């Protein structure tokens, strides 16, 4: 078995941004090869790192080169795991099962390219629970941003009737039939292990991931006397429109730099 985070293969990926170099990397995670995308500013320098944790499942919500390049152009080295079972990676996407370690080992990989003591997690949607687990399992995270992020699989199952069949298949049943599996995957129950400051961003009209996820996370972290900040946008949905998206992204990256 190869060491976790060891790079098996890399190839240059066409970049939509002339200021950013993209590389698709195959690396080892818990005995299998998984893939992700590295984005680096063309201008060399000492950059902080961001592990970008995508939303969705399998091909839905896949890492977008334009998004990681957009973040990298602001002066960060970005690594975005595809999660196992995607884009030719081995294994199967498990929705916050052992695939969490694809993120955990992604941090170690990222440290080879950026300032190793300045690693941030930037999560969207399903990536929220991946980020929480990564911050729980590692104590070297500088900050966490979860944007429209999932905080509880039980809550996700309850809210998303359209996702229940997929969740039963991927997770192995319903919260009533296999509560122990949902509990094992519930990062919120181990939030006391999170040491990094957390920024929560959420739209009040989000029907993909209800704002209850944000409220639950904020309440839990505050109850544990953790450092947490929340930016709520009552009029917005899961996907912020172009100009507002860019504005909030820049503000979130500025928040990260201050931590």
Catalytic residue numbers? 125, 238
Say how far apart CA 198 and CA 221 lie, in whole Å: 9
**Within 13 Å and on the Cβ side, how many CA atoms surround 132?**
32
Can you give the three-state secondary structure of the chain, one letter per residue? CCCCCCEEEEEEECCCCCCEEEEEEEEEECCEEEEEEEEEECCCCCCEEEEEECCCECCECCCCHHHHHHHHCCCEEEEEECCCCCCCCCCCCCCCCCCHHHHHHHHHHHCCCCCCCCEEEEEECCHHHHHHHHHHHCCCCCEEEEECCCCCHHHHHHHCHHHHHHHHHHHCCCCCCCHHHHHHCCHHHHHHHCCCCEEEEEECCCCCCCCHHHHHHHHHHHHCCCCEEEEEECCCCCCCCHHHHHHHHHHHHHHHHHC
Sign for the CA dihedral angle at 72, 17, 25, 35 comes to positive
The position carrying tokens 């960060």 is 76
């Amino acid at each position: 078995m190869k060491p976790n985070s060891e790079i098996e293969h890399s190839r240059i990926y066409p970049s939509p941004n002339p200021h950013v170099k993209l590389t698709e990397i195959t690396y080892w995670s818990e005995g299998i090869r998984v893939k992700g995308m590295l984005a680096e500013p063309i201008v060399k320098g000492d950059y902080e790192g961001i592990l970008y944790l995508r939303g969705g499942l399998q091909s839905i919500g896949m890492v977008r080169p334009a998004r990681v390049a957009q973040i990298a152009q602001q002066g960060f080295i970005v690594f975005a795991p595809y999660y196992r079972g995607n884009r030719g990676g081995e294994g199967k996407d498990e929705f916050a099962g052992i695939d969490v370690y694809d993120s955990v080992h992604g941090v170690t990989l990222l440290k080879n390219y950026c300032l190793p003591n300045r690693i941030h997690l930037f999560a969207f949607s399903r990536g929220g629970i991946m980020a929480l687990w990564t911050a729980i399992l590692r104590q070297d995270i500088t900050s966490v941003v979860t944007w429209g992020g999932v905080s509880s699989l039980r809550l996700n199952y309850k809210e998303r009737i359209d996702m229940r069949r997929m969740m039963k298949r991927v997770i192995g049943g319903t919260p009533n039939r296999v509560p122990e599996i949902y509990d094992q995957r519930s990062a919120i129950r181990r939030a006391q292990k999170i040491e990094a400051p957390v920024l929560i961003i959420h739209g009040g009209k989000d029907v993909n991931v209800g704002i209850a996820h944000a409220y639950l996370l904020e309440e839990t972290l505050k109850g544990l006397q953790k450092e947490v900040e929340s930016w709520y946008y009552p009029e917005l949905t899961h996907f912020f429109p172009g100009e507002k998206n860019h504005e909030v992204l820049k503000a979130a990256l500025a928040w990260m730099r201050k931590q």
